Amino acid sequence: MQLYTSNPIKIYNSLTGKKEDFTPINEGHIGMYVCGPTVYSNVHLGNVRTFMSFDMVFRYLKHLGYKVRYVRNITDAGHLENDADAGEDKITKKARLEQIEPMEVVQRYTVDFHNILNTLNFLPPSIEPTATGHIIEQIALIQKIIDNGFGYEVNGSVYFDVHKFNETNEYGKLSKRKLEDLIHNTRALDGQSDKKNPQDFALWKKAEPQHIMRWPSPWSDGFPGWHLECTAMSTKYLGEQFDIHGGGMDLKFPHHECEIAQNEAAIGKSPVNYWMHANMLELNGARMSKSTGNTVNPDELLSGENTFFTKAFAPGVIRFFNAQASYRSVLDLTDEGLLASEKGFYKLMDGIALLNSITATDNSTFDVSSWKQKCYDAMNDDFNSPILIAHLFEAVKYINQIKDQKATISATDLALLTTTMHAFVYDVLGLENVAETNSGSDKLAGAVEVLIKLRQEARANKDFAMSDKIRDELADAGIVLKDGKDGTTFSVN
């Protein structure tokens, strides 16, 4: 029996604005689509937070025994500089500025994207389709929308008729916006004269002579609108209706709103049962922005080569920091917050390491089975990772009590505690023990053991000044010695 049969999940559905019981369309199988990056620059740390949140969702669904088809796209064409269908394609602009081919831009930043996610221990999606690889599907989808009366062509470009669509459907139901309000708040923009209404959005744009990326279509040589690719690819790989669609909060309008409209116009069905949106990542209490300089790249955070943080932080620490907040909450990235997360991360890893040295007895002074269920209950409640982490530290406290001979555990409970801790820490949260995975950890351990022996000799000779100096200088280097009944151990903080 799979774990999902005894662990029903509740998901906060952005479409309804409330938590709902999760029921997949096909029992035991889940289709999940998450909007991926536009590869014209290094991946934004805020986007990494979104992808990390859905990596955790993917991991937990797999842990429960679901067969998950996880689709995360690569936008390598068609994303204009603003959402009003004006400006220059971001990838084309980058290629023009650097005097290289657009696909060189795409390749460079797709590789960067994958390198960052691999470093942060992401699971790869089941399918990672690209916009340029699905031009045929997008053209066919546009034709369906036109045939159904919701699209129109002007001077080689094709637009979605939002007003016509809203006569029989509800445009704005995801973002809770009324078309009347959008009309009232819209000003006439330059370059919009081809549209019947300013609220209409591009399905296909005719390429200007200088536009490098272009494909032939029944309407013109051009390129697809940004919103179209996700509708085309999610439908192709997950079907006309699927279970979960995720992305950042900033994509709710207009991108996801337009996706819903395109699906309903072309197919006559609402495409997604559960819409999930990850919230924003701030830096020192303010929105990340390149224009203000309040931004940091993931590799700068990992390397420590930035002006915001006092040191470099390990990938596991960054993942742990992210998991300490709900994916639906705004998360403020600060030096103090990361330093606190670093201490918590290594405390958790130390607790897991102690499990290997625990000796079981006849009985337990802690209800491990009840604790295990509380861990599942936390994740079943809209993937509540902060509550899960609180329960994991409850277990760490118990482990330390056993080590100090203030608590006991049976062999059966020790096995259950060990497998459960490993499942949630490694498999679900995706944390890696840096000390175990670091190729130099054995050499570090050997060097510290030598210093521990020198300290023991100093104490035996009553040279307490030298003993304290070794301890204090190791602590300054982030290595904490712990004296116990069974000798001295150390941990890396």
For strands 479-484 and 242-248, give the pairing.
unpaired
Q: How far is it, in rounded angstroms, from Cα 328 to Cα 249?
A: 9
Domain boundaries, the chain: 3-278, 282-436, 438-492
| Second CATH level (architecture) for the domain 282-436 | Orthogonal Bundle (1.10)
Closest among 321, 243, 257 to 49, alpha carbons compared:
321
At 185, give phi and psi (nearest 5°): -95, 5
Q: How far is it, in rounded angstroms, from Cα 147 to Cα 255?
A: 22
| Second CATH level (architecture) for the domain 3-278 | 3-Layer(aba) Sandwich (3.40)
Tokens (6 digits) for 208: 């200007």
Query: What's the predicted TM-score (pTM) here?
Result: 0.87
Cα–Cα distances in angstroms (integers) from residue 246 to residues 54, 156, 289, 376, in the given order: 7, 32, 23, 22
Cα–Cα distances in angstroms (integers) from residue 179 to residues 164, 182, 200, in the given order: 11, 5, 11
Closest among 3, 16, 22, 6 to 381, alpha carbons compared:
22
Ranges of beta strands (E only) in 290-379 are 331-333
Tell me the residue length of the chain: 493
In order along its 493 residues, the chain shows pLDDT tens digits of 899 999 999 999 999 999 999 999 999 999 999 999 999 999 999 999 999 999 999 999 999 999 999 999 999 987 775 555 667 788 888 888 898 899 999 999 999 999 999 999 999 999 999 999 999 999 999 999 999 999 999 999 999 999 999 999 999 999 999 998 888 665 444 445 689 999 999 999 999 888 889 999 999 999 999 999 999 999 999 999 999 999 999 999 999 999 999 999 999 999 999 999 999 999 999 998 777 888 999 999 999 999 999 999 999 999 999 999 999 999 999 999 999 999 999 999 999 999 999 999 999 999 999 999 999 999 999 999 999 999 999 999 999 999 999 999 999 999 999 999 999 999 999 999 765 544 445 556 677 877 888 888 878 888 888 888 888 888 777 788 878 766 787 776 5
At 29, give phi and psi (nearest 5°): -125, 140
